[in-house]
Amino acid sequence: MDYTAKIKKLLQVKGTEEGFPLYLESLKDPDFRVRKVALEGLLQHYPPERLIDRLIEFLYIEDNAAARNTAIEALINIGPQALKSLESAFRTENHDVRKFIVDVAGQMNTPRAVPLLLKAIQDEDENVRAAAAEYLGKLKAKEAVAPLIRMLQEEDLWVKYSVLEALG
């Protein structure tokens, strides 16, 4: 089925119960136009509380970066309402998913993300720690200054660089 037929089908079922799983599945479509319509439809016609956990599941998809990125975009658009679920999901052992969660929380650009980011600077994965430090700096979170200064003891140069950028 070409992308126009897929989009037409999405538009026919927007806002319906039948449409919800189709919109979610369309976030995995190889065509960016289909993913864009699906993303917009989900955000406009379905309540965030119904979307958040389903979108977090997309962060675990390893073989479809476009689907993951679309889910990340959706979670950022949902905003602080998604933070509680993101905090729960941060407990995963998957360091890539923890990094995606930090990116989502940080790009929300809200002080409400600071507790999650403070937790993330203590993560075992250096990419998670570096990203969290970077976002704390962008948020100018005063409560992060002391923990960031302590992070200057890090051996990992990339993390140190991110901390120095955050403190600068």
Give the closest residue to 68 by CA, choosing from 55, 77, 58.
Answer: 58
Count structural domains, the chain: 1
Give pLDDT, residue 43: 97
CATH number of the domain residue 104 falls in: 1.25.10.10
DSSP code for 31: S
In a domain, 116, yes or no: yes
pLDDT tens digits for the chain (168 residues)?
Answer: 899 999 999 999 999 999 999 999 999 999 999 999 999 999 999 999 999 999 999 999 999 999 999 999 999 999 999 999 999 999 999 999 999 999 999 999 999 999 999 999 999 999 999 999 999 999 999 999 999 999 999 888 999 999 999 998
Model-level pTM? 0.93
In a domain, 16, yes or no: no
Give the closest residue to 135 by CA, choosing from 98, 160, 110.
Answer: 110
Q: Rounded to whole angstroms, how far apart are CA atoms 139 and 108?
A: 10
In a domain, 68, yes or no: no
In a domain, 33, yes or no: no
Q: Rounded to an integer, what is the distance from CA 64 to the centroid of its chain?
A: 15
In a domain, 96, yes or no: yes
